[in-house]
Amino acid sequence: MAENCTHDCATCGQDCAEREVPAGCTHDCSTCGENCPSRNGGSIRDLIEPAHEMSEVGKVIAVASGKGGVGKSMVTSLLAVAMSRLGYRVGILDSDVTGPSIPRAFGIKERAKSDAAGIYPAETANGVSVMSANMLLEEETAPIIWRGPMIAGIVKQFWTDVIWNDVDFLFVDMPPGTGDVPITVFQSIPVDGVVVVASPQELVGMVVEKALNMTNAMEVNIVGLVENMSYAVCPDCGKEIKIFGESHIERIGEEYGLPVLAKMPIDPQLAHLADVGAIELADTSYLDEAAKKIVEFCKD
């Protein structure tokens, strides 16, 4: 502890074990993302941005993962399809800006439209509203080579400048990991719950723990865990083959007190439908219960 400590960290520049507010705190919380007791008695979520004034969004569900390639976008797409089959109006905000796969899975080729009022999401064949960075590019296949702050800015605009007209559930396909962009998303968009997607391999390591720690620090609640690529079914004998090893999701769920929402197999039909832009034709039975659990979670 600093000599003559008054326990008023705001008037003292020294770093010590007692320090609760960041050194150099100006008490202007709008210019600082730190979550500290000086945050005007509030929380890190005070930085949440208002949605577009013409938007009507019920609940916001983020779909996150510790790393890329585990099927986060697949789970986002199928949850959206399952939820829309339950009769809800659904939107997908694709914030995985550098790896946007949502428009492709839904067969959306059009560019985003805008006018003086704002930007309009595209609508899929079955009425799911979608906004993605891909829809801003001249060429769908052009790589997005923007720096972090620019990406974070775009994602924020997908919330503040896009007119989300009357959606009950807005799914946010998160960028993978725990970096800058996911943090900005959690700080700017009022996420009601997070679905964490992982492969069996990841569940063994620290990746999921890191993602859970981030959501904890961001003060967002987790709906539950989805294990993707849990197993594959042999087309000849019907046996379940655990390609990535034994499942650990129950143990992780228990350890963190989180429900297991689903265990989804590797299903070539799903990959095919996503590739040809027809994910809305998919059998969503792996995630139907998860969709209902999200509805229940949002009632609390």
Site residues for ligand ADP per CB under 6 A:
65, 68-74, 99, 101, 228-229, 264, 266-267, 270-271, 274
Shortest Å, Cβ 204 to ligand ADP:
17
In total, the chain counts a number of residues equal to 300
In the chain, the amino acid numbered 71 is: G
Of 73 and 178, the one with the shorter C-beta distance to ligand ADP is: 73
Of 55 and 176, the one with the shorter C-beta distance to ligand ADP is: 176
Of 74 and 222, the one with the shorter C-beta distance to ligand ADP is: 74
Shortest Å, Cβ 169 to ligand ADP:
19
Shortest Å, Cβ 246 to ligand ADP:
18
Of 32 and 243, the one with the shorter C-beta distance to ligand ADP is: 243
- Alpha carbon distance 198, 225 (integer Å): 8
> Residue with the closest Cβ to ligand ADP?
71
Both structure tokens of 89: 């109006």
Q: What per-residue string of b and e applies to 208-241 under the rule 16 or more CB within 10 Å gives b? A: beebbebbeebebebbbbbbbbbbbeeeeeeeee
Shortest Å, Cβ 278 to ligand ADP:
12
Of 37 and 69, the one with the shorter C-beta distance to ligand ADP is: 69
Shortest Å, Cβ 192 to ligand ADP:
21
Q: Residues with Cβ < 8 Å from 191, sequence gap 6 or more?
A: 60, 61, 62, 172, 185, 220
Q: Please state whether 154 falls in left (phi above 0), alpha (psi between -120 and 50) or beta.
A: alpha
Shortest Å, Cβ 72 to ligand ADP:
3
Of 22 and 99, the one with the shorter C-beta distance to ligand ADP is: 99
Shortest Å, Cβ 288 to ligand ADP:
15
Of 131 and 270, the one with the shorter C-beta distance to ligand ADP is: 270
